[in-house]
């Protein structure tokens, strides 16, 4: 256990920001202060018991007797009442400070959770599209939203509490050893084996239960997500029972491990209480045989009862903390893995301009062992409307993702005019481009918020939003909506038609001032009439000197393109005008 604690301390210290490292030491000091106040309040009760149990302490020459004479009280009872009142006052101060310390502790814990959650959010985004595509979104959500909270409340705080309780128990034991070492060693020899046996029995089990719950959590979220977002398909295919059974099975398994985990979280309280009661009973039996003076026995029992009163919750918290730390080791693994694997990509501050052309020079890309693009070279002139066609798997979408700087090329370079577009210039390049995919992402907000996507509400230019919608041929939609641009469009744009959603994506790109529009099969899921409307919208934009790259399955989508490339097996097979391509297809 000591080895695990030392390892955890080192890992946590490395993970925490510099400021939080200092704060964690301050938190530990506050916890110790709270414990010292607890001990002070507890220690003050011992002389009070002595005063009540042994009237001889009031004799002149003894500390309490001299204090009694100095205060000038006429009766011992009046002195005892004053002494009791002072102890109560100390307890009030102690508990008030204890609440304040708990507030500081909670704020520290949640600030750690916030820091790591935001850090993980940023890190996952920085890993790029390949990582996002190859990862389960529910696992990402669990790591970003769940792991930091578990780390701060179930590992970091228990580790601080464990350190504090170890110190408190050590101080109490030292005091008891000074008072009566033989009795302490006897009680310790009875109580300690119970702790050791229970921890040895529980440590691997609670770790296993916690890891199983961690593993099952994304499966439950995935089933919920897929069943509700795929509602129509689920109902039409009559497979709701399959999703319900899957949800029931995963939930049952999760609750099974949750019950076991909660039982082991409560068990230390019962184990510690049983051990303490056993120790006190042994102490009473020992005292009956070895103390003839009942006052001495009462004093011994009072001292150890007070010690047990403070040690019992400390021992309980100590055991619970040890169990929690063991159970939540996986949070360190997740945070440390992310911390090591994801160096920050510094973004170069660059005022990038697009005045001449976009150049691809011998671009190649491989995914694992499969080569997708092979030495593709291409010039796209400013204001040009370039179409790209090809069968599925020919490399069209990969080429688009390279243009978006989502994929790092295996070899070759990409240029805007004479400036190479590297990973450090992503933001500068993306300020110039707009992207309209097959399934435009729309959130459950207003039309205004979706067009000005990512802009703070107070900074949205309503006139600019309306202009972008008009340019994207959505002027009629504005007239039909009851609240205009302030109308809510539903989750994923459910209140809009397919064509309106696509044109909403175009309006978004125009609002953000895109000079290059990239269409990735934006009309492939639309009917012929809606596709024609989108194509006409693209045609209207052709007069605005906006550069367009359009990937399409349907040749008719490309009728406004000045040049069309055909891709096959990762290379550019041919180049056509629209009329030439029509003749080739026919």
pLDDT of residue 361: 92
pLDDT of residue 379: 92
pLDDT of residue 57: 62
8 Å CB contact between 148 and 57: no
How far, CA to CA in Å, does 304 sit from each of 173, 249, 367?
10, 51, 69
Q: Which residues contact 434 (CB under 8 A, 6 or more apart)?
A: 506, 508, 509, 510, 512, 514, 516, 517, 518
10-residue mean pLDDT series, the chain (586 residues) = 62 78 82 76 68 63 64 69 78 82 85 87 79 80 85 84 80 80 79 79 81 85 78 68 86 89 80 80 78 71 74 79 82 73 58 88 86 89 89 86 87 89 85 85 85 85 87 81 85 81 85 86 64 72 78 81 88 85 70
Tokens of 333: 């693994």
8 Å CB contact between 282 and 186: yes
Q: Say how far residue 466 (Cα) sits from the centre of its chain.
A: 37
Delineate the domains of the chain, giving CATH numbers in brackets. Answer: 2-341 (1.20.1560.10), 357-585 (3.40.50.300)
**pTM (2 decimals)?**
0.70
pLDDT of residue 233: 62
How far apart are alpha carbons 340 and 343 in whole angstroms? 7
Q: Would strands 547-551 and 571-576 be described as parallel, antiparallel, or unpaired?
A: unpaired
How far apart are alpha carbons 570 and 193 in whole angstroms? 69
């Amino acid at each position: 256990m000591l080895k695990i604690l030392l390892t955890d301390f080192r890992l946590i210290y490395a993970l925490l920001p510099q400021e939080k490292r200092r704060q964690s030491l301050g938190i530990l000091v506050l916890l110790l202060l709270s414990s010292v106040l607890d001990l002070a309040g507890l220690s003050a009760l011992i002389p009070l018991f002595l005063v009540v149990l042994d009237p001889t302490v009031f004799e002149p020459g003894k500390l309490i007797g001299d204090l009694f004479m100095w205060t000038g009280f006429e009766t011992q009872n009046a002195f005892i009442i004053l002494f009791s009142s002072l102890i109560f006052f100390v307890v009030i101060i102690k508990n008030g400070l204890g609440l304040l310390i708990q507030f500081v502790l909670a704020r520290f814990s949640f600030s750690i959770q916030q820091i790591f959650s935001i850090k993980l959010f940023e890190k996952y985004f920085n890993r790029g599209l390949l990582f996002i595509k190859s990862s389960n979104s529910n696992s990402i959500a669990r790591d970003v939203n769940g792991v930091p909270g578990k780390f701060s409340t179930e590992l970091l705080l228990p580790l601080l509490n464990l350190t504090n309780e170890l110190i408190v128990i050590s101080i109490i034991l030292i005091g008891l050893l000074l008072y009566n070492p033989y009795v302490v060693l006897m009680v310790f020899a009875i109580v300690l084996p119970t702790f050791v046996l229970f921890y040895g029995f529980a440590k691997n089990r609670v770790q296993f239960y916690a890891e199983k719950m961690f593993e099952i959590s994304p499966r439950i979220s995935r089933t919920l997500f897929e069943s509700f977002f795929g509602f129509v398909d689920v109902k039409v295919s009559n497979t709701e029972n399959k999703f319900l059974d899957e949800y029931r099975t995963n939930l049952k398994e999760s609750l099974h491990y949750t019950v076991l985990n909660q039982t082991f979280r409560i068990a230390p309280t019962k184990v510690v209480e049983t051990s303490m009661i056993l120790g006190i009973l042994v102490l009473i039996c020992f005292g009956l045989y070895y103390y003839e003076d009942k006052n001495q026995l009462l004093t011994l029992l009072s001292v150890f009862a007070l010690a047990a009163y403070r040690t019992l919750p400390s021992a309980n918290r100590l055991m619970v903390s040890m169990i929690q730390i063991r159970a939540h080791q996986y949070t360190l693994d997740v945070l440390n893995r992310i911390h090591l694997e994801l160096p920050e990509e510094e973004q170069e501050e660059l005022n990038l301009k697009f005045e001449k052309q976009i150049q691809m020079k011998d671009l190649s890309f491989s995914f694992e062992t499969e080569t997708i693009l092979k030495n593709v070279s291409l010039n796209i002139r400013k204001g040009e409307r370039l179409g790209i066609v090809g069968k599925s798997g020919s490399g069209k979408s990969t080429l688009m993702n390279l243009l978006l700087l989502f994929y790092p090329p295996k070899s070759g370079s990409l240029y805007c005019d004479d400036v190479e577009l590297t990973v450090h210039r992503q933001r500068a390049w993306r300020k110039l481009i707009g992207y309209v995919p097959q399934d435009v992402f729309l959130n459950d907000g207003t039309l205004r918020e979706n067009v000005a996507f990512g802009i703070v509400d107070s900074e949205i230019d309503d006139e600019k939003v309306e202009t972008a919608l008009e340019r994207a041929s959505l002027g009629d939609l504005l007239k039909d909506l009851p609240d205009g641009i302030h109308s809510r469009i539903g989750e994923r744009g459910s209140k809009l038609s397919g064509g309106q959603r696509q044109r909403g994506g175009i309006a978004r790109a125009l609002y953000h001032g895109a000079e290059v529009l990239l269409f990735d099969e934006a009309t492939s899921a639309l009917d012929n009439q809606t596709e024609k409307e989108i194509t006409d919208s693209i045609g209207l934009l052709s007069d605005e000197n906006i550069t367009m790259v359009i990937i399409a399955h349907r040749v008719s989508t490309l009728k406004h393109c000045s040049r069309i490339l055909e891709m096959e097996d990762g290379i550019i097979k041919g180049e056509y005008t629209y009329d030439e391509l029509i003749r080739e297809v026919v």
